[in-house]
Amino acid sequence: MIWQKVENGKVIDNTAEATSASKKREPGKLDKEDFLNLLVAQMKYQDPLEPQSNTEYVSQLATFTQVEATENMAHTAESLQANALVGKTVIMRPTNPVTGEQSLVTGVVDYVMKEGSNIYLSVGGALYNLDDLYSVADSEYMEATMLAEDFEKTVEQLPDANNVSLLDEQTFKMIREQFDKLSDYQKEFIQSNCKEAWDKFLAAETALNVMIKLRDELLNGGAGDDTTGGDKDDDAAGDGADKGDGAGTTTPTE
């Protein structure tokens, strides 16, 4: 027994052929079936007095086959490109369908999903069309980017050159030590892309170094004066003792 669905008194054909034929196609896009239908229509309605030769039909079929092969090649290339992005850091630039504004999304590609002729990249738990791919970033660039962000946040909490004090000595010393450990590429990246924060840090560090130098000079100079004064006092005391000993001693005479 065959069961079929009935809606509004009409029998609904739910066979696979009917379902396949009822699928909507993308507007303005022709596939191989459309080309074949055009060819059949051309053969059907040709002028019987001036029919086209078999050579022309073969040429048209060859053209259709070439177009299909080119499309398949392009789709295969896109698939290979998408699969090669898995595990890499990418920058996507999707367009908001409501406002039309574009935004940048950075993250690692977790997996690739194909849906019809579209290819999607999973980035940060969301799916983005491969057409929205803006840039592919290597690990060195992303590491430098994160270091630059941390540097900006750290410097933002520091006092500027007009408010720095000796209490900030250890903080600036630690930041300088960490910066000196970075690679040349990371240093140049911070200096170029965080110019405002870098200039603030240098100005405050310079002012702090002046304070440290003055403090060290005062401490070293004061200790030297005390040592010199103590030596003089000891010498004076020694001279007095010598003189006292000489004055208190009576040399017997014969």
Helix 54-84 and helix 32-44, axial crossing angle in degrees, nearest 10: 170
Pinpoint the alpha helices (H) of the chain. 16-22, 32-44, 54-84, 139-156, 169-180, 184-193, 195-248
Q: Give the pLDDT mean for 14-20.
A: 40
Task: State how far the Cα of 156 lies from the Cα of 178, in Å rounded to an integer.
Answer: 17
Q: 4 CB contacts (<8 Å, ≥6 apart)?
A: 11, 12, 13, 14
Strand partners, 102: 95
Choose one of 68, 83, 98: the last residue of a domain.
83
pLDDT recorded at residue 15: 42
146 and 239 assigned to the same domain: yes
Domain count across the chain = 3
- Average per-residue pLDDT for the chain: 75
19-33, 103-117, 119-133: range with lowest mean pLDDT: 19-33
Confidence class of residue 168 from pLDDT cuts 50, 70 and 90? Answer: very high
151 and 237 assigned to the same domain: yes
70 and 155 assigned to the same domain: no
Confidence class of residue 73 from pLDDT cuts 50, 70 and 90? Answer: confident
pLDDT recorded at residue 157: 95
Range among 62-71, 175-184, 245-254 with highest mean pLDDT value: 175-184
Range among 5-19, 115-129, 175-189, 229-243 with highest mean pLDDT value: 175-189
Domain that holds residue 174: 140-243
46 and 73 assigned to the same domain: yes
pLDDT recorded at residue 229: 47
- Whether residue 20 lies inside any domain: the answer is no
Confidence class of residue 32 from pLDDT cuts 50, 70 and 90? Answer: low
- Whether residue 180 lies inside any domain: the answer is yes
- Whether residue 38 lies inside any domain: the answer is yes
90 and 64 assigned to the same domain: no
CA 36 to chain centre: 48
